Copies of this chain bind each other. A is one copy, B any other.
Amino acid sequence: MSDIEPIIDLSRIAIHTATTKPLAIEQAVEKYAELGFGGVSVWDDVVDAAGTGRVRALVQGAGLRVPALVRGGFFVSADPADRAASIGKNRHRIRQAAEIGAEMVVLVAGAEPGVPLESAREQATAGIAAILPEAERAGVKLAIEPLHPMYAADRCCINRIADARAVCEALASPLLGVAVDVYHVWWDPDLEREIEALGRTGRLLAFHVCDWKADTGHLLLDRGLMGDGVIDLRRIRGMVERAGFDGLIEVEIFSKHYWAMDQDRYLELIAERARTCV
C-alpha cells in the first residue's frame, strides 16, 4: 500500500486559513511561509474582511501559492430569489479568486431541510452551470467538493465523488472539476476507482487532508489532525498521485480543540504530521 515516499518538502503543502482560525491573515501567511509551507487557501470571511488587494499583497509578499478561495456554492433554496442571489454571490467569489491569484473556487453544493434531495441536486447543477461563464472569463477553476453524507440535510446534496463527477460530465467545462477531501470520502468503497476516473478526465483539482476521529464528538467542528484518526492518508495520497495529481496538498481542519491550542505549536504539529502521516 505505502510504496510512496513520505513528504519531506513542506512546499507541497498548503494550509486553509480556517485551519488556524484564531490567526489574523497577516500572522497566518507569515507563519505558514516561515515553516516552509508552500501555499494558503483563503476563506471567504478573510477575503471579505481584508479585501482582495491586501490578501494578494500578503500572499505574494510571503511567496505563497493560493490553491483556492474557499468557498462558494450553496446554490440550494426553496426560494428562487435566494437561488438567484447565490449565483450573484458566486460570480463575486470567482472575481475575488482571480484578484487574489487563487487557482480555483471550491464549491459546496448546498442543501436545505425543506428541499427534497433530488430537487436540491438539480438546483446545484443549475447554479454551477450559471456561474461557469464567469469562471471562464476570469480563468478560475471550479472544484465541486462532495461533502460527507452526514451533511446531506443542511449543507451539501452532493455526497460522493461519483455524483460530483457526474455533474462535471453533464456540464463539460474544462474549468470544472472535483476537490477530494479525505474527511468526506474516505469511507467510499469506490474511492480508488473514482479518483482514477477524475485523473483520467482531468478533473482532479484538489486534495484536502485531515483525519476522521473514531470518537468524533461533533458533526462539524471535531475533525482530527492527520494521524489522530482512522484514515490511511498515505494510501489515499498514493491514489491521487497515481491519478496524476501534482497540486498542493491542502490541510483543512475545523476543530475547537486545535483552535484552542497555541497556534505556533499547532502549526509545528501540522508540519510534523504532514511528514509522518500523509
Contacts and interface: CB of A to CB of B under 8 A. Distances in A.
Interface string A154-170: 10000110010000000
B214 A189 contact: no
Interface residues of A, number: 26
B113 A153 contact: no
B148 A160 contact: no
A192 to B, nearest CB: 10
Contacts of A150: 148-150, 216, 219
A152 interface: yes
17 contacts: A113-B214, A113-B230, A117-B186, A117-B187, A117-B189, A121-B189, A149-B187, A150-B150, A153-B214, A153-B216, A153-B230, A154-B214, A154-B215, A154-B230, A159-B187, A160-B189, A219-B219
7 shortest interchain CB distances as A-B pairs: A152-B187, A113-B214, A149-B187, A153-B214, A153-B230, A150-B150, A154-B214
A44 interface: no
Nearest to A115: B230
A116 interface: yes
Interface in A126-164: 148-150, 152-154, 159-160, 163
A116 B232 contact: yes
Given A149-B150, A159-B189, A160-B189, 5 more contacts: A148-B150, A149-B149, A149-B188, A153-B213, A154-B230
Interface string A227-268: 001101000000000000000000000000000000000000
A32 interface: no
Nearest to A231: B153
A113 B214 CA distance: 6
Interface string A187-199: 1110000000000
A75 interface: no
Nearest to A189: B163
